[in-house]
Structure 1
Amino acid sequence: MPVSTQDVAEQKEEFPLPKATFAEKVISVEHYTDRLFKFRITRPASFRFRSGEFVMIGLPSEGKPLFRAYSIASPSWDEEIEFFSIKVPGGPLTEHLQKIQPGDTIWMRQKSTGTLVMDALTPAKNLYMISTGTGIAPFASVMRDPEAYENFDKVILTHTCREVAELQYGVDTVALTKEDLLVGEEAKEKLIHFTSTTREDSAQNGRITNLIEDGTLAKVTGLPDLNPETDRVMICGSMAMINDLKVLLEARGFEEGANSKPADFVIERAFVD
């Protein structure tokens, strides 16, 4: 179970902090559905990361601590760290993580990493961030980073979920981005938010790969079909979506990139939602 801040002294004796790990305080928690929630924690003064990266987090516990990879949903300039999580019944970590309250303690590893970063892409006109479920988290970070608007003419976020309520985190975050003092003006001009659902009726229904292939994405956004000459793509979400979209992009001439070899599209392979 989470440990309250008033028990920090006892916690240090009962649950020794692992090496290369921060112990941070939960600032806020917001539950969106019975499956999804976000939370924010304090940011260590020495912690540095690139927007779009992930970090390992866990809870104080007896025995060997359990850590899981979580994308950082706040931009690199934020004074707090935000995460967006799914609730997994019986999940070794999320079963307890979903019960956290402000004041509880979260363990976070000191090193972040990941491929959903600007450094892994070559220059182009448009940036597409394609997500399903909690795969939107790294893009909540990227779309609030000034670099996204400095590097691209348009920044397109797509988010596909089963039901309309599961899209709300993205809707809220896009709205906050457009009102942000740092990037708001550019976001209002350049940021496009495209949503779809697969089980409940909404403005757009269907898997994102189908909506790309049948021209719906291009029609709704007012942009041409995906083209490696003008577009760069970041992908995060279900493994089925990642695999299908990888095939689709490569068939159109896109090449997969990495931190060591920037190219046309990148995939976060550390985890799936």
Structure 2
Amino acid sequence: MDAAATPAFTKPPAYTIPDNVFAETVVSVRHYTDRLFSFRITRPASFRFRSGEFVMIGLPNAEKPVFRAYSIASPAWDEEVEFFSIKVENGPLTQHLQKIKPGDTVLMRKKPTGTLVLDALLPGKRLYLLSTGTGVAPFASLIRDPETYEKFEEVILVQTCREVAELTYITEMVEALKADPLVGEMVEGRLRLYTTTTRESFERMGRVTDLMRSGTLFADLGLPPMKPETDRGMICGSMAMLNETKQVLESFGLHEGANNAPGEFVVERAFVG
């Protein structure tokens, strides 16, 4: 074949945004470590969700963009949509997502869903939000929602990470909530943050499941072990963490619920990659 007959390289067709996808603008980005970052995008006027739900997001960087499930970290009343993400070097989405800057476009499917919503839990006195890593994202939404404090007398937010710096996102948020005009008075004395690490030395170390089994977590908080009459739980983390934490809650007599059948605890099974 001669040079004249060699086909020229053709760029793939541009992504056409379908009716079920929003194209939103990145408002801000913050990197916490080489593994974690958060970002906020504009919120479509028609977008409605319940605090704790997740949505599929992607980037307009291919004819068929990769979409992944991301828990919405902002509360239902927020004027922007916030996400908290890991960075995966070869992740189909996150290898590109971690490079976004204000002004860039992020795609978001229009239908949110998920089980980490208050409606999926039976009424109770105390709510445990149990997370590892970016699994804290849906709880970042729930602790900023007034309805959480209308339904529960006390909220215990637990996050376990490898290193201390990975706790910064939620630690700063909880501290700032004390001055929040909407929920500041509600969280005072009722929202408790319990953070641990598994690798770097910290005031509290260990996996949340081990700390619950041993009773250390409850002793540290000055609370009795969980029981189905008063306590409710939400779990979000890796698959291994979900399965193990679910077993621990079941050992306390709690039963898993869902949107159509509320129970004493719920589990989120959406993952990011």
TM range (shorter): over 0.9
Mapped to 2, the partners of 1:259 and 1:178 lie a distance apart of: 31
Post-superposition offset of 1:19: 2.8
Distance, in Å, in 1 between the alignment partners of 2:40 and 2:231 is 32
Partner in structure 1 of residue 136 of structure 2: 136
Structure 2 counterpart of 1:255: 255
Q: Tell me if the contact between 2:68 and 2:272 (Cα under 8 Å) persists in the aligned partners.
A: no
Give the unaligned 5+ runs of structure 2.
Answer: 1-12
Corresponding residue for residue 88 of structure 2? 88
CA–CA distance in 2 between the matches of 1:191 and 1:87? 29
Change (3 A) 1:125 1:272: farther
Task: Tell me if the contact between 1:55 and 1:113 (Cα under 8 Å) persists in the aligned partners.
Answer: yes
Alpha-carbon distance in 2 for matches of 1:40, 1:133:
18
1:271 shift after superposition: 2.1
Q: Who wins on radius of gyration, i.e. which is larger?
A: 2
In the TM superposition, what whole-angstrom CA distance separates every residue of 1:61-96 from its partner, at most 9, and x where no partner exists?
222111000000000000000000000001111011
User: Counterpart amino acid of 1:120?
Assistant: A
Quote the residue 2:6 is aligned against.
Answer: none
Residue 152 of structure 2 corresponds to which residue in structure 1?
152
How many Å apart are 1:262 and its aligned residue?
0.2
Report the counterpart of residue 58 of structure 1 in structure 2: 58
Instruction: Give the Cα–Cα distance (whole angstroms) in 2 for the partners of residues 146 and 115 of structure 1.
Output: 19
> Is it true that 1:25 corresponds to 2:44 in the alignment?
no
Indicate the larger mover: 33-42 or 211-220: 211-220
> 2 CA distance for matches of 1:198 and 1:164?
9
CA distance in 2, matches of 1:272, 1:106: 15
CA deviation map 1:136-176 (0-9, x unaligned): 00000000000110011100100000111111111011112
The CA distance in 2 between the partners of 1:78 and 1:32, in whole Å, is 22
Give yes or no for contact 1:135–1:272 (8 Å, CA) kept in 2.
no
**1:194 matched residue in structure 2:** 194
Q: CA deviation at 1:124?
A: 0.5
Secondary structure in 1 matching 2:188 = helix
Q: Provide the C-alpha distance between the structure 2 equivalents of 1:94 and 1:49, rounded to a whole number of angstroms.
A: 23
Structure 2 residue matching 1:96: 3-state secondary structure: helix
Which amino acid is 1:190 matched to? Answer: R
> Which residue pairs with 1:210 in the alignment?
210
Residue aligning to 2:116: 116
C-alpha separation between the residues in 2 aligned to 1:177 and 1:23? 30
- Please say if residues 70 and 272 of structure 2, whose CA atoms lie closer than 8 Å, have aligned partners that are also in contact: no
Deviation of 1:49 (Å): 0.1
Query: Which letter does structure 1 place at the counterpart of 2:36?
Result: L
Assess if the C-alpha contact under 8 Å between 1:236 and 1:272 holds in 2.
no
Question: Contact between 1:51 and 1:141, CA under 8 Å: does it hold in 2?
Answer: yes
Shift of 1:272: 6.5
Count of aligned pairs between the two proteins: 261
SS of the residue corresponding to residue 219 of structure 1 reads helix
Task: Kindly state the Cα deviation for residue 223 of structure 1 after the two structures are TM-superposed.
Answer: 1.4
Q: CA RMSD of the aligned region, Å?
A: 1.2
Task: Tell me which residue corresponds to 1:166.
Answer: 166
Is the Cα contact below 8 Å between 2:57 and 2:69 reproduced in 1?
Answer: yes
Deviation at 1:215, TM superposition (A): 1.6
TM-score under structure 2 normalisation? 0.93
Which residue does the alignment assign to 1:46? 46
Name the structure 2 match of 1:35: 35
Q: Aligned partner of 1:227: which letter? A: K
With over 3 angstroms needed to count, the CA separation of the structure-2 counterparts of 1:248 and 1:272, relative to structure 1, is: farther
CA shift, 1:206, in A, is 0.6
Q: Measure the CA separation in 2 of the matches of 1:62 and 1:241.
A: 33
- Length-normalised TM-score, structure 1: 0.93
CA shift digits 1:9-38 (9 cap, x unpaired): xxxx83211230001000000000000000
- What is the CA–CA distance in structure 1 between the aligned matches of 2:78 and 2:56, rounded to whole Å? 18
